[in-house]
Amino acid sequence: MRFHIGLCLWLVAIILGAAVDLRAESPLVWPSPLSIGDSAQGPSTSGSRVTLPGLPQRLTLKQAMDLLVQRNLAVAAARYDIDAARAARLVASLRPNPIVTVGAEQLNPSISPRFLRGMSTDNLASQTTYTTRIDQVYERGNKRRLRTEVANYNVEAAEAQLLDILRQALFNLKQAFYTTILAKENLQVAQENLAYFEQTEKLIKISFEAGAVAEVDLIRVRTQRVQYQRDYTDALKSYQQSLRDMLNLLGVEEVPPEALAIPQTSSPATVATTAPPALLETGGNLRIKPQTFQRNELRRLALTNRPDVLNARKLLAASNSSLMLARSLRRRDISAGMEYQRVGSEGTLGVIVQFPLFVFNNQQGAIDQAVATMRAGRARLRQAELQAMTEVDKAFSNYELSQQLLKTYSDEYIKGAEEARNIEEYSYRAGHKSLIEFLDAQRAYNQARVAINQARFDYRLALYQIEQAVGATLLDEDRITEFN
């Protein structure tokens, strides 16, 4: 078994970049949401093909994932949170600013300016004291280092939070993408079934007019046709809704009706005229090669790679540093200053040293708060680890059950159902079987095709659930997908 643990490296390379200098980090620019309603070519004219700006006509899962990373609103908010954490780290790493004081004392406002000419300069200056002073706070107890350490952990926690949001968003996108594929393949089944049934109805009508079948058979066929039309309508509605859900994850705001149609391949004319050509198609299919996983290995990977677990660990580390920072507050900071004072014609220098007296506040409250925060962080970390283990176990059980079910729906199963349908049709036309038996065989064949599509979708989704539970990329889409 080969695991490709590349989620963190791939996403960090796309989103976070390789910048290290805090001052050189530029703010992230958020692009405008996609709008399908506006085309770069202007309004479409008859005979010209309308395209969707910002989206290819055939959208693959890889392209959809890249668009999600660039345009998803939840991802954008998490990216800005990282910017804020980096700015807080920059603030935490700075030293206190020096303070300059300039003053004049013993000024006599009662002296009128017109009398100043008759006064001695020494007498006037002797009444005023001029002072210039500069003070600097010197932090003790490694406060600046501890503040920076806490801020570093907070930045790493914000980055892990972004990866966790991406983990959830990418799973939702994969689920929505292949739900669209499932709906499209079921729609194709419904189209082919309706076309086949309409052809059968025409043959039975010809046989009835020739007197070969009873009128009741023609009535039954026409009644059954309503169900096939309803199946097609339901399949089309399911496809349109699933495609709209996927576009919502990609930040698409406006979707015209023609963007929710699909190309008609096997449908009859009555169906083809109701659906315009598609502006967007999802590229891919539900077929997938069997994969092998081990539960214990998945549990180990989850504890190592899951972003929510990493986020809890970084926050716990930040709380530990915050506790040390709170304890360092009991180390008194010293404010040292130098002063120059001029009184009359005499100048003097002075030195000032200040430090707090812990008479009323000895920082015990800050220490108790940091201890409580650290204990809460431990509990959250334990909860995150338990949640990871639970999700791994659930995903693995779902994977095993889906794999067993997929083995049941083999290609031979579909071929057998189709062959049984053909035999019943031939027997009915030969007069050896009733119409009800033929319709039952047709219904069983339709259900088999839909069931195998659902089984393939469930198995693929179970694999994506394992990836989500582990928090790492385990599947290579180009290798696991089977092509017809």
pLDDT digits (tens, 9 = 90+) for 5-27: 444 444 434 444 433 343 344 33
Residue 250 is predicted with a pLDDT of 85
The secondary structure of residue 251, as a DSSP letter, is T
Report the sign of the C-alpha dihedral through residues 460, 466, 471, 475, in that order: negative
Cα separation of 82 and 66, whole Å? Answer: 20
The CATH code belonging to domain 7-38+56-94+154-329+393-480 is 1.20.1600.10
Higher pLDDT, 331 or 478: 331
Residue 333 is predicted with a pLDDT of 92
Residue 397 is predicted with a pLDDT of 95
pLDDT tens string 69-83 = 888 888 889 999 999
Among 146-160, 181-195, 259-273, 424-438, the minimum mean pLDDT is found in 259-273
Cβ of 83: how many Cβ atoms within 10 Å? 15
Cβ of 393: how many Cβ atoms within 10 Å? 15
Residue 466 pLDDT level (bands cut at 50, 70, 90): very high
Among 152-161, 177-186, 196-205, the minimum mean pLDDT is found in 196-205
Residue 221 is predicted with a pLDDT of 74
Residue 142 is predicted with a pLDDT of 93
Average pLDDT over residues 93-97: 93
Please determine, for residue 351, whether its predicted confidence score (pLDDT) is greater than 80. Answer: yes
Residue 22 is predicted with a pLDDT of 36
Q: For the stretch 437-465, what's the b/e string if a residue is b when 16 or more beta carbons lie within 10 angstroms of its beta carbon?
A: ebbebbeebbebbbbbbbbbbbbbbbbbb
Q: Using an 8 Å Cβ cutoff, are 456 and 287 in contact?
A: yes
| Residue 381 structure tokens | 């970390």
The reply to whether the predicted model has a pTM over 0.95 is no
- Nearest CA among 384, 391, 370 for reference residue 310: 384
Cα separation of 334 and 353, whole Å? Answer: 7
- Nearest CA among 214, 194, 218, 219 for reference residue 205: 218
Give 372's Cβ-side CA count (13 Å radius): 6
Q: Using an 8 Å Cβ cutoff, are 129 and 104 in contact?
A: yes
3-state secondary structure string across 328-374? HCCCCCEEEEEEEEEECCEEEEEEEEECCCCCCCCCHHHHHHHHHHH
Amino acid identity for residue 292 in this structure: T
Average pLDDT over residues 121-137: 77
Q: Which residue has the tokens 């780290």?
A: 89
Mean per-residue pLDDT over the chain, rounded: 80
276: Cβ contacts below 8 Å, ≥ 6 apart: 257, 258, 261
Q: Give the H/E segment covering residue 175.
A: helix 143-209
Strand order from edge to edge, sheet including 129-138 = 99-105, 129-138, 334-343, 346-354
Higher pLDDT, 231 or 276: 231
Instruction: Name the burial class of residue 13, with classes exposed (0-12), middle (13-18) and buried (19+) by CB atoms within 10 angstroms of its CB.
Output: exposed
Please determine, for residue 203, whether its predicted confidence score (pLDDT) is greater than 90. Answer: no
444: Cβ contacts below 8 Å, ≥ 6 apart: 417, 420, 421
Q: For the stretch 249-276, what's the b/e string if a residue is b when 16 or more beta carbons lie within 10 angstroms of its beta carbon?
A: bbbbeebeebbbbbebeebbeebeeebb
Residue 227 is predicted with a pLDDT of 82
